[in-house]
Structure 1
């Protein structure tokens, strides 16, 4: 989801490009940009051309970029692929019965390139960023090592390729991230002398860990203590007698000073992770359901006919409200919440697509990230509402989804 985007003026962007190109021409440096074919073509052109001066070439290039921005209102970009984004794309493709429209072998190769056979985890560039986190600086949640590993395993399951990993080694890795004293999973194996935020169990890590273990384990027999501890951990994060407008929802973690999600807790996403974890164990009824339903009541914006992502953002009610409504739809079904008008919620969701068939994070935003469309498709699939997308909708969405392809995988933002 997109938290905030500050839009640069055209003049600012052009000035930045001009400065970069000037430095490039003066220094003669060559940049090797991974995953971008022909990344040195600009420098080669500058150094080898005898028919045009460098300034003329630079002016031509600048004019092309200006024209591109005038037409699109953004610059075409290339992004590093991530295992997280690749999982999102595969989930969508699988839901649309469109896996045959992509190069599955290439995606398998991309995933397996990040696999550490001896330790059982998957490590991409974003997981490396997570491991390098300096918590004394502003923390921005990125995919943890555990989450990255879970996304990879779930992706391989979609591709019918989990036989290529050592399942027991990966199970052992996931369990090494488990804190039995708390009953939840951290983003990396627990070790001494780590920053406390690294070893803080969270609901997002716990949900994906439990979902992946459920896939890899033959059964939960032998893990009764872990199940009991996780159930207790999740239920302990449901708010009670804090503030009336958030009571019944769930924190993502027990540390009040650690914002482990990319937005203030509690919210509908942290609640989703908690309830979905319990659903795997058939224990969703163990929460205080009436209190959670009251929380959903409080999220509803009756004037604008949508559910807020969180009550912390009033009067900015539109923050992440599009995927938020998909999450509410799914949780309403799981907890048998009777106050929701499904038709209105679906109409709101379907009206938030752009001409490419992609969904945005909020109803007043023009930026689109893959996670938003993933959350919508997941909600529609889990609630058996995918039939709302006709063949034309699916075809347009598939074509647009391929704009997120990068190298052998997918990136969170489109080109």
Structure 2
């Protein structure tokens, strides 16, 4: 016998609110462990609007949701668990990003982008990425500590990399980083959120128009060239695709760089081990991705048909949040999941990049950027340390992508 919304767990009592706050940056929200054990598919209400949604917290169930064609990514469908204040009239005008598309539209656009992010293509980018990292660490060393690692390294490196890949002028980074940060904030009013999206889209609309007339050696130009034959997107679709690539290409990696460095500085024995044996770094990165799971609720879905998950029936039209942070701390997959273990054999089983057809297309690029930054810091600034107490750091509890606002370091 299965449960459903008609007899949902916790009915008759207030539903827990989502998102749930992390009390420690190195762990999942405390509530997740109890949900995984007692109600792995459970009901919650969204803080942003009070609407109900399903939370899925076990690793196998999260994979099941993300691999199920009945779980739609279309954010315009009724029941989709929005985490921002989006009025209905604004939602009606939203142009879907690839991240929010279902097949066949999603399949067509993703197929055109995959060649830009293959392991081979990213390997070819490695020397340029390393050059960017070295230049910024040179500047840090020349300035001397203390410096804010976020503004000195964590943010500019992925911003420069994605700008060069897309063909976006890096001198505009202050503007698009401001708009991007606003779009990640749960607490913005509908007007503020809409203004940030509109401003970035106006900027990218001009850029795409320029590349339609004067193509260059960049992702947007190559997409436009292919699209002239394939015709899978119109001008507005290309603008929206560019927004997804630009925002997704720097927000997540920048936050992972800063959090990963914080983890290493908080565990000097691990830092020393990685300095002795750099070959451990790739697996350490997978473990850091697992532990932080910075885009915990980026895997929102809505059921377009009844789905049974973990013995619970989710009805068509009901929202689902398949929580990768909860999945990545599932004791049935990761022994002692609260421990940062750079030797963990199953580390790469994490779902930090999602799963299924919407798995992060830039995962290969992110891994190379993280390896370049961590490896170079460990080699060139072995005495790196926090310049303030860890309790003074401000974490992004209000954002869709978890991170730290500043990371003052010295050496």
* TM band (smaller chain): under 0.3
- The alignment's TM-score, normalised by the length of structure 2, stands at 0.25
Larger RCO (CA under 8 A, 6+ residues apart): 2
- The alignment's TM-score, normalised by the length of structure 1, stands at 0.25
Structure 1 or 2, whichever has the larger Rg, is 1
- Higher fraction of strand: 2
